[in-house]
Amino acid sequence: MPKYSVKVKWGKETYPGVEVNTEDDPVLFKAQIFALTGVQPERQKVVCKGVTLRDEEWGNFKLANNALVLVMGSKEEDVPAAPVEQTRFVEDMNEFELASALDIPEGLINLGNTCYMNATVQCLKTVPELRNALLNYNSNSGGGTAGELTSALRETMSMLDGGGAGGAGGAGGCAGAAARLLRALHATAPRFAERQPGGGLAQQDASECWTEIVRALQQRLPAAGAELNADRASVVEQYFGGTLDVQLVCAEAEEPPTRAKETFLQLSCFISQDVKYLQSGLRSSKISRLPAYLTVQFIRFYFKEKESIYAKILKDIKFPVELDVYELCTPELQERLTPMRNKFKELEEASIESALNTKNKNHGDSKKDTRPKKAMPYAFEDDVGSNNSGYYRLQAVLTHRGRSANSGHYVAWVRRGDGWLRCDDDNVTPVLEEEVLKLSGGARKERESGIGKPDARHGETKVSIRPEV
């Protein structure tokens, strides 16, 4: 019988009737203990009948109904540490910081070098169409390991939307959901279950995690309005998928170039001596279909043959809050983008004129125009999930701190409304936009990647239609 009801004892506290399923990885039981005690899994020593529970397998850790499980370890707050950032008092906060500080969403607990997974999930969560498709997914529809990973991500998204401790499941629910997501990720891609020499989980690459999760979702989440673009069978292909026009030239024979089309779910920004800005790192093949959300990966890791290690390029590469990719598109797509771009220009000019008139009426005292603005469609009518303007607005950034691909720490920076949040595992804090724009590498030793959606620029959709770079 793999399921047991045990008694957990931590210090003076006792928790009877804790359900344990030994078919799950031990890390899931440790996540349950975290939910009860607040002791992080990596700080726990779990003992039953003199046998210590390991992270990777149950081994000789034998359970029975009503067995007594002893937990040793202290909560992080029991070990005071110097604050990383200067204390901010309420009276010193601006309007955005105050609102954010009083309404912080839930984070995801680090189950032992799982920051790469947590940061990836927080970035994907910023895409409302993807999140809605996940929440509507039937977890009983099967689908092998891809179905298990999709179901686990659905549960995680639901827990995060629940609002943390005061919501559906609280911190314990998110801890359990994160553990089940990790288990599903290991089943889908066993390399993520690799261990360090000491037995703990090894650090993994967030870009590879993004690829595995998106691949599973591509198989399990059907497209919306598929009759408008039957060649895109999934939500992922609709909202993340683009098309490149590629010209192939044979270097060994004088033959005319061959043209072909390639699809992509993310673009790569290759870093060279001449690349200082994101746009210059993307000038390669021409884009013939722009997705609603544009994901760009900065290629910062490379293999050093002499040392046989993956090193990191620390060069500072700037990325903007608003990105215009018009010059990266084919002439045919540029022609299709022009009408919406002209509308944006007209609305921008009208907005400036309105602001000047308001300023003159108030004798030089300009006031913000609070009148509702017209929301613009961001996709072509015959192509659900496309971008019809070429404009994008920064929505999420995923960074890596450290010099090696096998170590360091991943953090997600996500837009919420007109502000930003820093999602460092289960520690979520508001930050200013200036802090996000400093994440361009160089001395900060960060690696960036992001997701993007077209910028509608005017109206209520300005913040809900957001790009990631």
Annotated catalytic residues are 115, 409
The first and second tokens of residue 245, run together, are: 């026009």
DSSP conformational letter for 307: T
Rounded Cα–Cα distance for residues 430 and 410 (Å): 17
For residues 429 and 362, the answer to whether their CB atoms sit within 8 Å is no
Element holding 462 (H helix, E strand): helix 461-464
User: How far, in whole angstroms, is CA 379 from its chain's centroid?
Assistant: 23
The three-class DSSP label of residue 310 is strand
Handedness of CA 220, 225, 231, 237 (dihedral sign): negative
For residues 166 and 147, the answer to whether their CB atoms sit within 8 Å is no
For residues 436 and 394, the answer to whether their CB atoms sit within 8 Å is yes
In 3D space, the residue among 306, 149, 303, 284 whose CA is nearest the CA of residue 214 turns out to be: 149
User: How far, in whole angstroms, is CA 76 from its chain's centroid?
Assistant: 26
- At CA 401, angle to CA 398 and CA 403, rounded to 5? 125
Sequence-ordered list of residues with C-beta below 8 angstroms from that of 58, at least 6 positions apart, any chain:
22, 26
Rounded Cα–Cα distance for residues 268 and 440 (Å): 15
The one-letter amino acid at 209: C
Find where tokens 């004088």 sit. Answer: 254
DSSP conformational letter for 359: H
For residues 150 and 124, the answer to whether their CB atoms sit within 8 Å is no
For residues 47 and 53, the answer to whether their CB atoms sit within 8 Å is yes
SS3 readout for 39-93: CCHHHCEEEECCEECCCCCCCCCCCCCCCEEEEECCCHHHCCCCCCCCCCCHHHC
For residues 412 and 210, the answer to whether their CB atoms sit within 8 Å is no
Torsion angle of C-alpha atoms 250, 255, 257, 261, degrees rounded to 10: -70
The first and second tokens of residue 124, run together, are: 């994907």
